[in-house]
Amino acid sequence: MIVMKDVYKKYPNGVVAANGINVEISRGEFVYVVGPSGAGKSTFIKMMYREETPTKGDILINGINLGTLRNSRVPHLRRQIGVVFQDFKLLPKLNVYENVAFALEVIEESPKQIRKKVNDVLALVGLTQKARMFPNELSGGEQQRVSIARSIVNVPKVVIADEPTGNLDPDTSWEIMKIFEQINARGTTIVMATHNKEIVNTIKHRVIVVEGGMITRDEYEGEYDYES
């Protein structure tokens, strides 16, 4: 599903944020990416949806080689990957329903299909009652649920999340994790960078530790544990 081979990333300012990353993530896996601030977790994640390109090395996502992928094909790649951010990134002028519908390729879908898909996904995240509300009328947890609904409405094979609970209180964070667990149970691969030790040590999954741009540990049912 996701393969990285000898991946290096040096930013223009000289910072090496990925220093020889080799990893394989299979279909249906749930992977936490942990490590100290500045370790390279976001860089690792951004390279998967080609927000950043590696300086050296190969990345394959579901058979697509990101190194040789034409820019015109990046939207095709992004349709196969759902992305969730710490700060939600919702469109403020669109309501909940519209924020989710916007992510669908409207040209290819009938209005009836779009309504069904959006309503189904809003039901999954428990927001049916709030479909007509705007982002600034929602709590942080609700906004994150909208952003998750948006990320999965295209039924992507992979969902990538960069600290999705970073701005949420502990109770809300557990609620959000329940939704990710449900999505994963349906067969979607999840890659999640997080600083939430409680969650990583309670809901057990594969744990990849990134330190200084390198993977220093990689264990199934791993622990949140690294030298900071």
Q: Which of residues 100-139 bind ligand ATP (CB under 6 A)?
A: none
119: left (phi over 0), alpha (psi -120 to 50) or beta: alpha
Q: Judged by CB under 6 A, which stretch of 7-15, 109-117, 128-136, 153-161 contacts ligand ATP?
A: 7-15
CB of 166 to Mg ion, least distance (A): 9
- For residue 114, how many other CB atoms are within 10 A of its CB? 18
Assess 11 for contact with ligand ATP (CB under 6 A): yes
Q: Which of residues 19-58 bind Mg ion (CB under 5 A)?
A: 41-42
**Can you tell me whether residue 47 is helix, strand or coil?**
helix
How far, in Å, CA of 204 to CA of 27, rounded? Answer: 17
H or E stretch covering 2: strand 2-10
Selected binder of ligand ATP within 23, 41, 90, 114 (CB under 6 A): 41
How far, in Å, CA of 47 to CA of 188, rounded? Answer: 19
Assess 164 for contact with ligand ATP (CB under 6 A): no
Selected binder of ligand ATP within 43, 99, 151, 189 (CB under 6 A): 43
- Under 8 Å between Cβ of 208 and 14: no
Residues lying near ligand ATP in the complex (CB under 6 A) are found at: 11, 13, 15, 17, 35, 37-43
Residues lying near Mg ion in the complex (CB under 5 A) are found at: 41-42
